[in-house]
Amino acid sequence: MAQPLSSTSSDFIRDIIDEDLRAGKNDGRVATRFPPEPNGYIHIGHAKSVCLNFGLALQYQGTCNLRMDDTDPVGESMEYVESIIRDIRWLGFDWQDRLFYASDYFEKLYQFAVLLIKRGDAYVCSLNADEIREYRGTFTQPGKNSPYRNRSVQDNLDLFARMRAGEFPDGAHTLRAKIDMAAPNIVMRDPILYRIKREPHYRTGNKWVIYPMYDFAHCLSDALENITHSICTLEFENNRPLYDWIVERLIEKNRPRQIEFARLNLSYTVLSKRRLIELVEKKYVAGWDDPRMPTVSGLRRRGYTPESIRQFCAAIGVAKNDNLIDVALLEHCVREDLNENAPRAMCVLRPLKVIIDNYPEGKVQQLTCANHPQRPEMGTRQVPFCREIYIEREDFMEDPPKKYNRLAPGREVRLRNAYVIKFESMVKDEKSGEITELHCTYAPETLDGPPADGRKVQGVIHWVSAEHSVPVEVRLYDRLFTISDPGAEEDFLKFLNPASLEILQNCRAEKNLADARPLTRYQFERQGYFCADEKDTKPGKPVFNRVVPLRDSWAKIAAVS
Contact (Cβ atoms closer than 8 angstroms) between residue 318 and residue 264: no
- Sequential DSSP letters for 490-519: TTGGGGB-TTSEEEEEEEEE-GGGTTPPTT
> Phi/psi at 193 (nearest 5 deg)?
-105, -35
Name the amino acid, one letter, at 328: A
Closest to RNA by CB, 290 or 507: 507
Contact (Cβ atoms closer than 8 angstroms) between residue 413 and residue 406: yes
Site string for RNA, 506-545 (x = CB under 7 A): -----------------x-xx-------------------
CB of 395 to RNA, least distance (A): 8
Q: Which helix (H) or strand (E) holds 315?
A: helix 306-316
Q: Pick out residues in 458-477 that bind RNA (CB under 7 A).
A: 459-461
- Whether 273 is a known active-site residue: answer yes
Contact (Cβ atoms closer than 8 angstroms) between residue 388 and residue 377: no
Q: Is 211 helix (H, G, I), strand (E, B) or coil?
A: strand
Catalytic residue selected from 29, 98, 197, 263:
263
Site string for RNA, 113-152 (x = CB under 7 A): --------------xxx--xx--x-xxx------------
By CB under 7 A, tell whether 481 contacts RNA. no
Site string for RNA, 245-284 (x = CB under 7 A): -----------------x----x-----------------
Q: Pick out residues in 55-114 that bind RNA (CB under 7 A).
A: 69, 71-72, 74
- Whether 403 is a known active-site residue: answer no
Q: At what angle do helices 44-59 and 12-22 cross, to 10 degrees?
A: 30
Alpha-carbon gap, residue 492 to 481, rounded angstroms? 9
Site string for RNA, 229-248 (x = CB under 7 A): -----xxxxxx---------
Of residues 33, 164, 218, 387, which one binds RNA by CB under 7 A? 218
Catalytic residue selected from 37, 199, 237, 534:
37
Beta bridge partners of 352: 391
Of residues 63, 83, 230, 446, which one binds RNA by CB under 7 A? 446
By CB under 7 A, tell whether 399 contacts RNA. no
Report the chain's C-alpha Rg in angstroms. 31
Closest to RNA by CB, 505 or 553: 553
Q: Pick out residues in 21-40 that bind RNA (CB under 7 A).
A: 35, 37
Question: Stretches 91-99, 108-116, 456-464, 505-513: which one binds RNA (CB under 7 A)?
Answer: 456-464
- Sequential DSSP letters for 327-339: HHHHHHHHHHHHH
By CB under 7 A, tell whether 167 contacts RNA. no
CB of 426 to RNA, least distance (A): 18
Of residues 95, 214, 423, 442, which one binds RNA by CB under 7 A? 214
Alpha-carbon gap, residue 265 to 49, rounded angstroms? 13
Contact (Cβ atoms closer than 8 angstroms) between residue 438 and residue 355: yes
Please state, in angstroms and as integers, the Cα–Cα distance from residue 553 to each residue in 94, 336, 377, 476, 522, following that order.
41, 17, 29, 19, 21
CB of 253 to RNA, least distance (A): 25
Of residues 152, 154, 185, 382, which one binds RNA by CB under 7 A? 185
CB of 37 to RNA, least distance (A): 4
Site string for RNA, 282-311 (x = CB under 7 A): ------------------------------
Contact (Cβ atoms closer than 8 angstroms) between residue 156 and residue 114: no
Of residues 255, 300, 414, 521, which one binds RNA by CB under 7 A? 414
Q: How many CA atoms lie within 13 A of 416 on its CB side?
A: 25
Ranges of beta strands (E only) in 56-209 are 63-68, 99-101, 122-125, 174-177, 192-196
Catalytic residue selected from 273, 320, 393, 416:
273
By CB under 7 A, tell whether 478 contacts RNA. no
Question: Stretches 11-19, 46-54, 200-208, 430-438: which one binds RNA (CB under 7 A)?
Answer: 11-19
Alpha-carbon gap, residue 73 to 200, rounded angstroms? 7
Q: Pick out residues in 338-397 that bind RNA (CB under 7 A).
A: 339, 344, 372-374
Q: Pick out residues in 308-337 that bind RNA (CB under 7 A).
A: 315-326, 328-329, 331-332, 335-336
Alpha-carbon gap, residue 305 to 524, rounded angstroms? 17
Closest to RNA by CB, 69 or 533: 69
- Whether 494 is a known active-site residue: answer no
CB of 540 to RNA, least distance (A): 26
Contact (Cβ atoms closer than 8 angstroms) between residue 383 and residue 417: yes
Catalytically active residues, by annotation: 37, 263, 273
